[in-house]
Structure 1
Amino acid sequence: MAKYYVQSGTLRTIVSAESAGKAAIWAVHQAMQQVFPMDGDSPVPQDKPAAVLASKLSVSEQGFDRNDSVVTPTIEVVSQWNEMVSTLDRLQQMLHRAA
């Protein structure tokens, strides 16, 4: 897997992923976990401010602040993340009903 540098607003993270698109989704997931934990056991950390995403999200294999970064509207990546989380939730519900 390649290493991608993902940034948007105050979020700057390095992600290992199969593609730039998957790295973007994982970075959004990291940001969303700060304010909306997926597992009920993890409290929202109060000691550091949550990352604030900007309207655009950039991904590069070369580093942060690159002119050759792939730039995507953040809302598109958040929509893809939301679809993924919704699908995982439906699968979890199906597994609980089958058990």
Structure 2
Amino acid sequence: MAKYYVQSGNLRTIVQAESSRKAAIWAVHQAMQQVLPIDETRFSETPSHEDGPPRTVIMLTKRMTVSERGYDRSDANDLSTLEVMNEWNRMIATLDRLEQMMHHAA
């Protein structure tokens, strides 16, 4: 798998993925975890300020850039953040349906 530099707004992350689009989807997943935790172990009874220093809120812009060569590259792949978020949403919905099917089969 290749290493990709993904950026949008204040998000800058390095992701290993099979393609630039998959790297962008994973970056959106990281950003969405702050507002919609998927893993139940991330829920906490204590306020986040007691868990350690406050984290920076990730803010995405309309476009995402993905490059194998580094940040701020003019040759980076330019993607619509909304399109990538829609793909992420479909993926999460599919995983949820699979989990429900497995739960009902058990």
TM-score normalised by the chain length of structure 2: 0.89
Does residue 79 (structure 1) correspond to residue 83 (structure 2)? The answer is no
- Unmatched 5+ stretches in structure 1: none
State the match for 2:56 in structure 1.
49
Extract structure 1 runs of 4+ deviating beyond 2 A.
43-46
State the SS of the aligned residue for 2:29.
Answer: helix
RMSD: 1.2
The number of residue pairs the alignment matches comes to: 99
Deviations 1:6-49 (A, max 9, x none): 00000000000000010000000001011111022203755112
State the match for 1:26 in structure 2.
26
Deviations 1:46-93 (A, max 9, x none): 511221000000000000000000001100000000000000000000
TM-score normalised by the chain length of structure 1: 0.95
- Unmatched 5+ stretches in structure 2: none
Greater gyration radius: 2
Query: Structure 1 CA distance, aligned partners of 2:43 and 2:67?
Result: 31
Query: Structure 2 CA distance, aligned partners of 1:50 and 1:30?
Result: 11
State the SS of the aligned residue for 1:5.
Answer: strand
State the match for 2:6 in structure 1.
6
